[in-house]
Amino acid sequence: MTTANRRIDLTVNGRARSIEVAPHHTLLEVLRDDLGLRGTKECCLVGECGACTVLVDAVSVDSCLMLAVEAHGATVTTVEGLATGDRLHPLQQAFLDTGAAQCGFCIPGQLISATALLELNPHPTRADVEEGLAGNLCRCAGYEQIIEAVLAAAVAGDAQR
Amino acid sequence: MRAFSYERPGHLDDAVALLAEHGPEARPLAGGTDLIIRLRDGSIRPQIVVDVKGIAELDWEIREADDHLRIGALTVMTDIAADERIRRDYQALAEAAAVVGAVQIRNRATLAGNICNASPAADTAPALLVYGATVVATGPTGARRIPMDEFFIRSGVTTLARGEIVTAIELPRPAGRRGAVHLRRTRRRGHDLASVTLTVAVHDDGVTNLAFGSLGPRAILVADDTGLLADPAAPDAAKVERLETLFAAASPSARSMRASPEYRLAMLRVLGLRAVGTAIRRLAEGPVQ
């Protein structure tokens, strides 16, 4: 029985990482403080706002409610992992095109939730988008543009196929 | 968050031994969506967190057995809400699982964790009570089966003994046709903890089972076997009167910030009549629910 650090191996944005983490540190803390990936935001810390949303094995989770040690062996995608080189992810482009980012704080979480939604449901209705993003709050209340952006990205995704 | 030791046993025996040895100083971790909040706010300060997700004997499967549907202890809300068999035969449970938190929470939160946390507002509790679920648990003295109605005591407290771990939840196969629905009242649209939760099942033999939560220390199961609530032709006024009697045990806390006792009781009556109507309609329309 020890509170000492433990080594975990995981893949973050396509890159294999092996790091020592404290058992009581969340995935959010390790992503931001140990791996320097500050796109993922810390906000409510109770699983209500979604600012810390990341993909763990292709499933969206609140990284503030998951211990880093639980991510051992997992594949994690943060907002930094969405673009390919200089090319933005279609959702990022759609968010830009529709002016969906106001202050921008919630946008990394919104983008990750939208990514998970379109992966499961490439042709969402407006109601599907509302439900899929219900766990991501935007205090600028930019919901209209965010929903519009996700619907536009779904259409753009179709055009690419 | 205060430092703790993290253990991830590979076998049920080892997990039971750890939890039995350390008692209240150890906390099991499944989805973590309740536990990690409490670890962070300091309301619990265990020395050891026992991650049950590495236990070989536990699974996240929903499996059909002879006389029941078995939900593994690691099954998350997303999978329960999407399962075709649950949507068909236990519709109110699918509806309850679908409104727990938002997507990110449902992707991690387990059904077993929801009942072990034993929040009075736990969305799945009324549905599990109405469907007569059984909790299967293993502890230092072996495995046992606990009827759902004998599981909850009050917020955070269940009849699980020291060292006992829930391994599965079983839903008995429906005996006849029924129509059921889960309704809740929240402060806002979108995801929120419920101020009132209610599951109603109307059976083709005239019996109506109801369970309500967030109205006292634990969710409460009641039944109407007079046939009145199940009767599509019975007047609403008579049903409201009957519901009043059935809801007599509701005792909402005056200290909760989410809603006043008066509001909760008023909404329970509103939801009660609404749920009975929906359940009757579903019984008439659907095959089995």
pLDDT of residue B190 exceeding 80, the answer is: no
Whether A26 is covered by a domain: the verdict is: yes
Task: Please tell me the predicted confidence (pLDDT) of residue A2.
Answer: 83
CB A10 within 8 A of CB A71: yes
Task: Please tell me the predicted confidence (pLDDT) of residue B255.
Answer: 82
Question: The CATH number of the domain where A144 resides is what?
Answer: 1.10.150.120
Chain A: nearest CA to B86, how far in angstroms? 20
Read out DSSP for B244-259?
HHHGGG----SS-SS-
The verdict on A71 and A12 lying in the same domain is: yes
Are A60 and B108 inside 8 Å of each other by CB? no
pLDDT of residue B11 exceeding 60, the answer is: yes
- Cα–Cα distance, B24 to B200 (Å, whole number): 36
Residues 259-288 of B with CB under 8 A from A: none
pTM score of the predicted model:
0.96
> What dotted CATH number matches B178-285?
3.30.390.50
Range of the domain at A122: 90-160
CB A77 within 8 A of CB A13: yes
Residues 81-140 of B with CB under 8 A from A: 101-105, 107-108
- Chain A residue whose CA is closest to B22: A1
- Chain A residue whose CA is closest to B33: A65
Residue of A8, A40, A61, A147 to mutate for B, most B C-beta atoms under 10 A:
A61
Are A62 and B49 inside 8 Å of each other by CB? no
pLDDT of residue B208 exceeding 80, the answer is: yes
pLDDT tens per residue across span B250-280: 998 888 778 899 999 999 999 999 999 999 9
Residue B4 sits at the chain A interface (C-beta within 8 Å): yes
Residue of B95, B104, B108, B110 to mutate for A, most A C-beta atoms under 10 A:
B104
Task: Please tell me the predicted confidence (pLDDT) of residue B192.
Answer: 79
pLDDT tens per residue across span A10-68: 999 999 999 999 999 999 999 999 999 999 999 999 999 999 999 999 999 999 999 99
Number of domains in chain A: 2
Task: Please tell me the predicted confidence (pLDDT) of residue B254.
Answer: 83
ipTM: 0.96
- pLDDT band for B241, please (50, 70, 90 cuts): very high
The verdict on A76 and A97 lying in the same domain is: no
pLDDT tens per residue across span B25-41: 999 999 999 999 999 99
| Residue count of chain A | 161
If 0-12 CB within 10 Å is exposed, 13-18 middle and 19+ buried, where does residue B257 land? Answer: exposed
- Cα–Cα distance, B194 to B89 (Å, whole number): 24
pLDDT tens per residue across span B108-159: 999 999 999 999 999 999 999 999 999 999 999 999 999 999 999 999 999 9
Mean pLDDT of chain B: 95
Task: Please tell me the predicted confidence (pLDDT) of residue B253.
Answer: 85
Question: The CATH number of the domain where A12 resides is what?
Answer: 3.10.20.30
Fold observed for domain B62-172: 3.30.465
pLDDT tens per residue across span A57-110: 999 999 999 999 999 999 999 999 999 999 999 999 999 999 999 999 999 999
pLDDT of residue B289 exceeding 50, the answer is: no
Residue B202 sits at the chain A interface (C-beta within 8 Å): no
The verdict on A77 and A95 lying in the same domain is: no
Residue B60 sits at the chain A interface (C-beta within 8 Å): no
- Class of CATH domain B5-54: alpha beta
The verdict on A22 and A57 lying in the same domain is: yes
